[in-house]
A and B are shown apart, each in its own frame.
Chain A
Amino acid sequence: MSKKEAMSKQKTMSKQKGMDRKQTEQELREISETVLKLTKKYGASDAELSLNRGAGLSVEIHKENVDKLEYHRDQGLSLTVYMGQHQGSATTGDLSAQAIEDTVKAACNIAKFTGEDEYTGLPDAELMMHESKDLDLYHPWDLSAEKAIEIATACEASALSFDKRIINSDGASISTYSGSGIIANTHGFTGVTASSRHNLSCSVIAQVPKTDAMQRDYWYTTSRKREELESAESVGEKSAKLTLARLNGRQISTRKSSVLYSPEMARSIVSHFTSAISGGSQYRKTTYLLNSKDEQVFPDFIRLHEQPHIPQGFGSSYFDREGVATSNRDIVTNGVVQNYIMGSYSARQLGLKTTANSGGTHNLTLEPTGQDLEELLKMLDTGLFVTELIGSGINGVTGDYSRGASGFWVENGEIQFPVEEITVAGNLKDMFQNIVAVGNDIDYRGGTRTGSILIEGMMVAGE
């Protein structure tokens, strides 16, 4: 195909589809008011909603060819109504007047059939966010199809040309998305957020010469601002290096071992902890960390804290999904759990106050203990460095942990050879206590920021 001609068509479209932020937000505000009025008309005592509208473009390249060119345009309304202590919900992707009225009616109808729940309802009005500043989350990219194709092609090319053992591509992708969202409720709260996110990724395949054995790995960069993205060449090169490092992977024999989780994998360890102290798992008693508030769950050098107002942060917001004001707080200090992660519903179940985490956490950081990756490998000395985990063998009630893994075998602090087709297993309660160090090699590409985590005393199963 002629990329230039494709581009000329795209420009026309992007103008047609281009969204004016102010206009979009005005429309969403109007819909929000209409919906909340309708909930009263149909008998609701209270209601809360979220509304969003956004648009984007994504391009995937496979071996220098455009594999997919996709235009995204999404919108949706999610509504919860309360009739006294009875709750009903409805969602729609159709924001026509008729669909909106049908959605309100459906939610109100459901509330007539749900049971009386003493814990349900909006958070207290005085908890609503009153003051906010610009968090610098909205940097839309008027990316043309031609430019997108050019960047993704360059990214893939830098990976494919990196080494002759890179024999195939699993695709280089670029995407951009921006939009606006509203949270509103019948306390009179309306919170508007406009945000953007851009991604560039590359995945390639390497083969051990003269064999069938193939390996794949990838690298990606993501940001709210396109200027902050890594270069296409760098993303391509990193994906090639990671893939090549996996060649000639083999199993090791079953043994007890220390395990060093790379920053990308360490993030999952943090998320196992946060789900274990979520309000829902506490009040349902479905967690191995039941009643762990004020308990020593980690060694005393561990600090995990939440910073909801980091400019351009992926989890940044001045209010949670219920409109409750967010603030900086410690979740773990000196290894001791300070509080759970709750919205107002689970907080009421537990007789506690909401922590403004309805909808999730807002930028968590696991504070490093000072070592870089090289120093962590030295501390590991002999053991497993895990760079990929697959499967979800976690029992949230008992903390039993067993996942597929691949990575590298390390001896005397030096990487020896790649390892694959093994599992790592233990119990999360022990694993948290057995953390020895948290690296300063922090991965900033998500709402949870952590460096590598070194854990002693795990079971590695292989041959």
Chain B
Amino acid sequence: MNLLEQAQQQLFEPASLNDSHLDKVFSQLHGADLADLYFQSNRFESWGLEDGIIKNGTYSIEQGVGVRMVVGEQTGFAYSDEISFDALIASAKAASGISKAGQTGRVKGWQANKAIQVDSLYGVDNPLALMTEDEKIALLNLADKEARAASPYVQQVIASIAGVHEHILIADIEGNLNADIRPLVRMNITVIVEKDGKRESAGTGGGGRFGFDYFTQADRVRDYAQEAVRLALVNLDAVAAPAGSQTVVLGSGWPGVLLHEAIGHGLEGDFNRKGTSAFSGRIGEKVASKGVTVVDDGTLENRRGSLNIDDEGTKTNCTTLIEDGVLKGYMQDKLNAKLMGEQSTGNGRRESYAHLPMPRMTNTYMLAGKEDPQEIIASVKNGLYAVNFGGGQVDITSGKFVFSASEAYLIENGKVTRPVKGATLIGNGPDVLTKVSMIGNDLALDQGVGVCGKAGQSVPVGVGQPTLKIDGLTVGGTEVQP
């Protein structure tokens, strides 16, 4: 069976839904510029370890259908956790409240178009079924063992694995039926270390659109555990971070959260259609240094932020946001693309059937430059070298953004010296990339644990970048600079 047939079996067959039912539902949505039904079922499983004990596990079952009707700029939406013809009709009637009442008469009956086959970017179908419970638990016990073996200072290990097996099927008013079956797994390890009465903690993890067996490969669990311990031990010795504007060298990989906050959100189509973004109306303008090219790419195999199709059924793309310093384009869903006279870029995403789609990022990263990362560091007299980060946040209207370092070092006379405590970095999105003065040749993507929140909806995303030198970013330390 192909993806569509499998999704139909999962989502349509239990309720015996067929084309004639969908025809009747879409007849309720007559007059729509855009209308779709988003069917979803989701199986989630997680296991957690603490104190060397498998303390808990959770299994969750979610399913439902969301009905959306768009007329001009206006969206009507209703959903049901029951997938049935009656529930669909009720939701469609509610959603159509956005449109003029009494629109009768059909142009033509709804009929499913021929489905387009898409090659799947994911390694597996059902990530939960590939391993037994005992094997999943063994992964957590291994994490505990490896972390405790890595250092005698480890006091506590908290580890978890989680996996999702999701079926989605989108039927739109044009007659398109698009389906996807999405696996997603992640593992997180947090350690608490104590040395000479000082305590620190640090966490790492990874994952992607794989099965749980991803964690049995290539010593991944040991690597995560050792990395968490290393990070916690580094922070035990950290001194206060310097406060104020300074030269900052960002490491490769997860520090790409800079791009996600500084420019990514500001380039989402909805904010730009409404003119509320600091980037509104700036296509074609120079917003970054020469050599800076940033893309949002939903087509990378097995990545956490990747999708075969977005949640509106559009095939995902690699969309160039900034090319050689010049702002090229926005990330679009169908609604905002249509209103701006553009095409959807395959960035229409939603947390679930109970949420409306919006333009969202997938995997956002900067392409590699030519510089040797060592030479980038050597070029800085005094500054900060920040290699690991927690999360970030942005005010898209003023453009001000933050991201918080969790592993950082002083650069003194071109050399990385002492570790400093975590600090928040703050900058202005529309001009921070104009201060990029060197771009490393070491592009790396993150390990696959990113979650992006927008308007109360969370979706999995990825980020990446090469080592970058930024001439002047405000560092929220506590120490007065020399």
- Compute how far the CA of A246 lies from the CA of B398 in the bound complex, rounded to whole angstroms: 10
Interface 1/0 per residue, B353-370 and A, CB below 8 Å:
010100000000000000
Question: Which residue on chain B has the smallest CB distance to residue A403?
Answer: B424
- Min CB–CB distance B433 → chain A (angstroms): 16
- Min CB–CB distance B467 → chain A (angstroms): 22
Return chain B residues, CB-CB under 8 Å to A249: 398
Could you tell me if A62 and B398 are in contact, using CB atoms closer than 8 angstroms? no
- Min CB–CB distance B138 → chain A (angstroms): 11
Could you tell me if A90 and B55 are in contact, using CB atoms closer than 8 angstroms? no
Q: Within 8 Å of chain A (Cβ to Cβ): is B155?
A: yes
- Min CB–CB distance A244 → chain B (angstroms): 14
Interface 1/0 per residue, A77-111 and B, CB below 8 Å:
00000000001111111101001001100110110
- Compute how far the CA of A2 lies from the CA of B94 in the bound complex, rounded to whole angstroms: 15
Q: Of A2, A103, A392, A425, which is within 8 A of B390 by CB? A: A392
- Compute how far the CA of A69 lies from the CA of B54 in the bound complex, rounded to whole angstroms: 44
Q: Of A89, A99, A116, which is within 8 A of B58 by CB? A: A89
Range for the number of chain A residues in contact with chain B: 35 or more
Interface 1/0 per residue, B281-302 and A, CB below 8 Å:
0000000000000000000000
Return chain B residues, CB-CB under 8 Å to A400: 421-422
Q: Within 8 Å of chain B (Cβ to Cβ): is A162?
A: no
Q: Within 8 Å of chain B (Cβ to Cβ): is A117?
A: yes
Q: Of B55, B192, B424, which is within 8 A of A391 by CB? A: B424
- Compute how far the CA of A425 lies from the CA of B480 in the bound complex, rounded to whole angstroms: 12
Main secondary structure of the interface of A (DSSP, over half): mixed
Q: Of A73, A96, A120, A170, which is within 8 A of B80 by CB? A: A73
Q: Within 8 Å of chain B (Cβ to Cβ): is A422?
A: yes
- Compute how far the CA of A107 lies from the CA of B57 in the bound complex, rounded to whole angstroms: 8
Contacts of A28-71 to chain B: CB distance below 8 A: 62-63, 65-71
Return chain B residues, CB-CB under 8 Å to A254: 243-245, 480-481
Q: Of B47, B81, B424, which is within 8 A of A75 by CB? A: B81
- Compute how far the CA of A423 lies from the CA of B274 in the bound complex, rounded to whole angstroms: 29
- Compute how far the CA of A13 lies from the CA of B101 in the bound complex, rounded to whole angstroms: 13
Could you tell me if B53 and A117 are in contact, using CB atoms closer than 8 angstroms? yes
Number of interface residues of B (CB under 8 A): 87
Q: Within 8 Å of chain B (Cβ to Cβ): is A275?
A: no
Q: Within 8 Å of chain A (Cβ to Cβ): is B74?
A: yes
Return chain B residues, CB-CB under 8 Å to A99: 61
Interface 9-residue window, one of B114-122, B214-222, B325-333, B399-407? B399-407
Q: Of B60, B94, B391, B401, which is within 8 A of A13 by CB? A: B94
Could you tell me if A421 and B474 are in contact, using CB atoms closer than 8 angstroms? yes
Question: Which residue on chain A has the smallest CB distance to residue B245?
Answer: A463
Known: A215-B398, A216-B398. A91 touches B58 (CB 8 A): yes
Could you tell me if B400 and A12 are in contact, using CB atoms closer than 8 angstroms? no
Could you tell me if A106 and B156 are in contact, using CB atoms closer than 8 angstroms? no
Could you tell me if B356 and A68 are in contact, using CB atoms closer than 8 angstroms? yes
Return chain A residues, CB-CB under 8 Å to B201: 286, 396-397
- Compute how far the CA of A113 lies from the CA of B49 in the bound complex, rounded to whole angstroms: 12
Known: A91-B58, A205-B397. A402 touches B424 (CB 8 A): yes
- Compute how far the CA of A390 lies from the CA of B398 in the bound complex, rounded to whole angstroms: 13
Could you tell me if A69 and B61 are in contact, using CB atoms closer than 8 angstroms? no
Report which residue of A88, A212, A390, A391 has the largest number of chain B beta carbons within 10 angstroms of its beta carbon.
A391
Interface 1/0 per residue, A365-406 and B, CB below 8 Å:
000000000000000000000000011110111101011101
- Compute how far the CA of A110 lies from the CA of B401 in the bound complex, rounded to whole angstroms: 42
Could you tell me if B423 and A425 are in contact, using CB atoms closer than 8 angstroms? yes
Could you tell me if A391 and B392 are in contact, using CB atoms closer than 8 angstroms? yes
Return chain A residues, CB-CB under 8 Å to B93: 9, 12-13
Q: Of B74, B194, B474, B475, which is within 8 A of A251 by CB? A: B474
Could you tell me if B63 and A110 are in contact, using CB atoms closer than 8 angstroms? no
- Compute how far the CA of A462 lies from the CA of B472 in the bound complex, rounded to whole angstroms: 11
- Compute how far the CA of A256 lies from the CA of B98 in the bound complex, rounded to whole angstroms: 54
Interface 1/0 per residue, B75-117 and A, CB below 8 Å:
1111111100000001101111111111000000000000000
- Min CB–CB distance B426 → chain A (angstroms): 5
Interface 1/0 per residue, A191-233 and B, CB below 8 Å:
0000000000000010000001111100000000000000000
Return chain B residues, CB-CB under 8 Å to A113: 47, 54, 57, 133-134, 137
Could you tell me if A94 and B424 are in contact, using CB atoms closer than 8 angstroms? no
Q: Within 8 Å of chain B (Cβ to Cβ): is A271?
A: no
Q: Of B73, B99, B200, B404, which is within 8 A of A392 by CB? A: B404
Return chain B residues, CB-CB under 8 Å to A397: 192, 199-201
Could you tell me if B478 and A459 are in contact, using CB atoms closer than 8 angstroms? yes
Q: Within 8 Å of chain A (Cβ to Cβ): is B348?
A: no
Return chain A residues, CB-CB under 8 Å to B73: 62, 65, 67
Could you tell me if B78 and A216 are in contact, using CB atoms closer than 8 angstroms? no
Contacts of B429-482 to chain A: CB distance below 8 A: 474-481
- Compute how far the CA of A459 lies from the CA of B241 in the bound complex, rounded to whole angstroms: 11
- Compute how far the CA of A284 lies from the CA of B156 in the bound complex, rounded to whole angstroms: 7
Q: Within 8 Å of chain A (Cβ to Cβ): is B71?
A: yes
Q: Within 8 Å of chain B (Cβ to Cβ): is A359?
A: no
Nearest 10 interchain pairs by C-beta: A423-B476, A391-B402, A254-B244, A404-B402, A393-B424, A5-B101, A216-B397, A106-B59, A110-B57, A393-B404
- Residue numbers of A with Cβ under 8 A of B are 1-2, 5-10, 12-13, 16-17, 62-63, 65-75, 87-94, 96, 99, 102-103, 106-107, 109-110, 112-117, 120, 145, 168, 170, 205, 212-216, 246, 249, 251, 253-254, 256, 284-286, 290, 390-393, 395-398, 400, 402-404, 406, 420-427, 459-463
Q: A391-B404, A461-B475 are in contact. List 11 more A-B contacts (CB 8 A).
A: A9-B93, A10-B94, A13-B94, A71-B94, A92-B60, A99-B61, A115-B55, A402-B404, A402-B424, A461-B476, A463-B244
Chosen A-B contacts, 24 in total, with CB atoms closer than 8 Å, are A10-B94, A13-B94, A62-B274, A69-B77, A70-B76, A72-B354, A89-B58, A90-B60, A94-B82, A110-B58, A114-B54, A120-B55, A214-B397, A254-B245, A284-B192, A391-B391, A392-B393, A393-B424, A402-B423, A402-B478, A421-B426, A426-B478, A461-B245, A463-B245
- Residue numbers of B with Cβ under 8 A of A are 47, 50, 53-64, 71-82, 90-91, 93-102, 133-134, 137, 155-156, 158, 192, 194, 199-201, 241, 243-245, 274-276, 278, 354, 356, 390-395, 397-398, 400-404, 421-424, 426-428, 474-481
